[in-house]
Amino acid sequence: MIVYEYPFNERIRTLLRLEDLYEKFAFFIGHEHPQHHHVALSTIFEMLEVAGRADLKSDLLQELERQKQTLLSFRSNPNVESEMLDAILFDLDRISSALSASQGKTGQHIRENEWLMSIRGRTIIPGGACEFDLPSYYAWQHDAPAQRVADIQKWFMPLMPLFDAISMVLRLLRESGRPVKMIAQAGSYQQMLQGKTYQMLRLNIDESLGAIPEISANKYMLWVRFTNQDGDMKPKPLESDVPFELSLCSF
């Protein structure tokens, strides 16, 4: 199954973009070639661009506190497994405390590092990080792989509380939705949302169908149109019925 996710608002869109960048970073930092580490470092710079909003940290802290209060209200419910609930509450407290303790604006430690900022300024130029442009960076890329990894992890670690918070918020959001089996008649599906507020849509589809969802939604209506790709990868509408699973996620 392939899972497609669609954010209903800019806040969730930002969190999903940062999650995607973190997964990219985790992949490339796990390899040893200098080019892998170049991409890992460039990805940190991309994270700073996306996370540049001053209120992202406060938004996450407020959301974590709101989720904590909501979960505390379930303590008296006999149908809730107390050990699992306590584990989630413990994680919420731990993540909130670490995020609260992080000082300054997101990525400020990188912005104060002149060497890293010189690299950042060159990486936005196509081919701008060549050895003749950044000889010191080229020399660093010839350090031992373990040393490069240690350096990159040191530069990334102050960002870790932010990404722990993002992971927890998105985890709770995804778990709020329950998949429902649907069929898109002649490749198209519409659903009235009646003004109810959702934060995210999740769509599961069997990859063997070769169907690609094009999703648009607002608080009143959801529309999914399935396409597939022809020889030159140009999408074309699917006219057959398409089974899929739909989850509407909301805190």
Give the residue from 191, 199, 189, 194 showing the smallest Cα distance to 242. Answer: 189
Give the separation between CA 91 and CA 147, rounded to whole angstroms.
31
Q: Quote the CA–CA distance of 224 and 33 in Å, as a whole number.
A: 41
Does the pTM surpass 0.75? The reply is: yes
Q: Which amino acid is at 33?
A: H
The whole-angstrom separation of Cα 132 and Cα 162 is: 35
Residue 85 has pLDDT above 90, yes or no: no
Averaged over 216-232, what is the pLDDT? 86
What value does the mean pLDDT of the chain take?
90
- Give the pairing type, strands 212-217 and 221-229: antiparallel
Look up the CATH number of domain 177-249: 2.60.440.10
> Amino acid letter at 227?
T
> CA distances (Å), 130 to each of 28, 140, 207, in order?
19, 13, 40
Quote the tokens at residue 13: 């869109």
Burial class (CB in 10 A: 0-12, 13-18, 19+), 109: middle
Q: Under 8 Å CB-to-CB from 26, ≥6 apart: which residues?
A: none
Phi, psi of 163 (to 5 degrees): -75, -30
Whole-angstrom distance, CA of residue 86 vs CA of residue 106: 30
Q: DSSP readout, 4-57?
A: EEEESSHHHHHHHHHHHHHHHHHHHHTS-SHHHHHHHHHHHHHHHHHTT-TTHH
Confidence check: pLDDT of 239 > 70: yes
Whole-angstrom CA distances from 7 to 134, 184, 215, 220, 235 are 39, 20, 10, 15, 22
Task: List the one residue out of 22, 10, 14, 16 whose CA is nearest residue 159.
Answer: 22
Helices (H), the chain: 10-29, 34-50, 56-72, 82-101, 108-111, 114-123, 135-140, 145-156, 160-175
- Per-residue pLDDT at 54 exceeds 70: no
Q: Out of 3.90.550.10, 1.10.3900.10, 3.90.1300.10, 1.10.150.20, which CATH number does the structure's domain 10-172 have?
A: 1.10.3900.10
* 173-223 pLDDT tens trace: 999 889 999 999 988 999 998 878 899 999 999 998 889 999 998 878 899
pLDDT, one tens digit per residue, over 129-184 is 888 989 999 999 999 999 999 999 999 999 999 999 999 999 999 998 899 999 99
Q: Where are the domains of the chain?
A: 10-172, 177-249
